[in-house]
């Protein structure tokens, strides 16, 4: 595993051989959230796990904008993977929306697209994410002496230890204190934009698309299918049993299986 960075985004590469697969994480996440999935795809695929803007080690921006984020990803891919031609792109949640915009705005960059548990629509369970953002913002970092203090404070509002662990990956030791690596102020302010989906001006992507939903999640609903198929005419929907919104972490073996089948399929 090696690290790479450019003037735009930070990322980690897993694997040394095979066709490139680019992973785009969701809200609060980092590229490394896909490490186990990427390792399971090797050696047939090598994976680039990107940190999206305002997350991980990537730069912060002044506002959240899906089109601008997709353009930044395209710029990074052209610089880092210019010799590979179009690449496979996998995006979850917020990263799935970025991945959709990337395919619609820069179709020459994308070979096959995988959208995990999100739809090209506004709405979804924003209340849950607002609660999580408010819970993180309520922690007074100046009073922390160790990471366990943050977990104890967060436990008062977020009872699921796994969710707390996921959120607290954004907490970084900084000198004698702590800081948030994610741009929490911007993410709280622009949450309605993150929960939305921009006008795509009639663009379509004609490459193969796999749409993966969790059967215990409400982010992908039957009424979303017409919009998805208008934007992505070659869409196949797969629903993973026993998976909620974080399909790749809740059902990793099934997720890897459908990825392998889709990425390795012959063209129609």
Please identify every residue annotated as catalytic: 93, 185, 245
Tell me phi and psi for residue 110, to 5 degrees: -105, 130
- Cβ(252)–Cβ(37) under 8 Å? yes
- Cβ(71)–Cβ(37) under 8 Å? no
Cα(229)–Cα(232) distance, integer angstroms: 5
Read off the DSSP letter of residue 52: P
Helical segments of the chain, H only: 35-41, 66-80, 94-105, 126-137, 147-155, 161-168, 184-189, 191-194, 225-231, 247-250, 252-263
């Amino acid at each position: 595993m090696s690290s790479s960075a450019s003037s735009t985004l930070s990322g980690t590469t897993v694997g040394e051989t095979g066709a490139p697969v680019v992973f785009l994480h969701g809200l609060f996440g980092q590229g490394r959230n896909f490490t186990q999935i990427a390792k399971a795809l090797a050696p047939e695929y090598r994976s680039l796990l990107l940190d999206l803007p305002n997350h991980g080690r990537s730069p912060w921006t002044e506002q959240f904008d899906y089109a601008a984020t997709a353009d930044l990803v395209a710029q990074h891919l052209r610089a880092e993977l210019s010799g590979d031609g179009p690449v496979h792109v996998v995006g979850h949640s917020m990263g799935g929306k970025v991945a959709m915009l990337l395919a619609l705005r820069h179709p020459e960059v994308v070979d096959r697209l995988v959208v995990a548990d999100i739809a090209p629509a506004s709405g979804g369970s924003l209340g849950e994410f607002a609660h999580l953002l408010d819970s993180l913002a309520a922690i007074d970092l100046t009073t922390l002496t160790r990471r366990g203090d943050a977990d104890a404070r967060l436990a008062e509002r977020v009872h699921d230890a796994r969710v707390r662990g996921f959120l607290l990956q954004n907490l970084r030791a900084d000198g004698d204190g702590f800081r948030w690596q994610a741009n929490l102020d911007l993410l709280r302010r622009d949450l309605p934009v993150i929960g939305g989906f921009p006008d795509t001006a009639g663009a379509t992507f004609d490459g193969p698309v796999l749409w993966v939903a969790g059967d215990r999640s409400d982010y992908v609903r039957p009424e979303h299918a017409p919009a998805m198929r208008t934007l992505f005419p070659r869409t196949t929907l797969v629903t993973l049993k026993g998976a909620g919104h974080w399909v790749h972490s809740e059902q990793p073996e099934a997720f890897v299986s459908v990825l392998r089948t889709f990425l390795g399929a012959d063209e129609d």
